[in-house]
Amino acid sequence: MDKLLDQLTRCIEFGKINKNSPFPPDMRGLDGADELTKKALEEGLQPEQILSEALIVGMQRVGAKFTENKIFVPQMLMSAKAMTAAMVHMKPFFESGSAKRKGTFIIGTVEGDLHDIGKNLVSMMIEGNGYEVIDLGVDVKPERFLEEIEKYPKCVVGLSALLTTTMINMKETVTLIKEKYPQQKVCIGGAPVSDRFCKEINADFYSPNPQDAVTYLDSLAS
């Protein structure tokens, strides 16, 4: 069983999606995250064990490498695809309630901004670390965030922006959220924003990279 989990961890870390995937070259022809997750469940491993001892471990390695500039966006995206392949088999257990998540994270790119690569990387890292992610997409109006917060009162909200021109929309979104839900935790990220801007708009946390966002959520969940 440990060998199977180690193999699955490596698939996530290096972006091996399935047996037919040619990437990475040294794993060509081997089972990928798709087949190994299915096999692990069939052999009786619990979803929580697969998540905590394989998928999360793999994503933590990916996050650490990305933070240290040892890998870059293309490699992160391959790991994201491998994680997605694994989660296809895992999600039915979470949706049925037979397996538990750490918490709920609602994320979206703010109104007026159509960029999603950074948002998608954060979503992938957070889901891979055991959270339910509600991805609202791009160009998200403040009212949409409010609607989702009402559905998931214990959630954490993540706002993304890539354009300096949409930073004002990020500020307005935080203001509206805090007016209606003063205790709501809101974290922000994106190329033009900073920790200083985070404090200026009364957000709770600024994440310069996906791994820091995971660390922040874990600190709240502990």
User: Are 80 and 134 members of one domain?
Assistant: no
Asked if 64 and 156 sit in the same domain, the reply is no
List strands edge to edge, sheet with 186-189: 132-135, 104-109, 156-160, 186-189, 205-206
Task: Write the pLDDT tens digit of every residue in 117-154.
Answer: 889 889 988 988 889 999 999 999 999 999 999 999 99
* pLDDT given at position 125: 86
Q: What is the CATH number of the domain that holds 2?
A: 1.10.1240.10
Say how far apart CA 222 and CA 207 lie, in whole Å. Answer: 19
Domain-terminating residue out of 76, 100, 124:
100
Q: Is the pLDDT confidence value at 97 over 90?
A: no
Residue range of the domain that includes 220: 101-222
The answer on 214 and 130 residing in a single domain is yes
Chain mean pLDDT for the chain: 93
Domain identity same for 45 and 120: no
Q: Residue 1: is its pLDDT beyond 80?
A: no
* Count of structural domains within the chain: 2
- Are 110 and 95 within one domain? no
Q: What is the DSSP string of 17-68?
A: -STT---SGGGTTS--HHHHHHHHHHTT--HHHHIIIIIHHHHHHHHHHHHT
| Residues 143 and 75 grouped into a single domain | no
Residue pLDDT, tens place only, 24-72: 999 999 999 999 999 999 999 999 899 889 998 998 899 889 888 899 8
Residue-level pLDDT at 76: 86
Per-residue confidence (pLDDT) for residue 60, from 0 to 100:
87
Q: For residue 103, which of 80, 121, 126 has the smallest C-alpha distance? A: 126
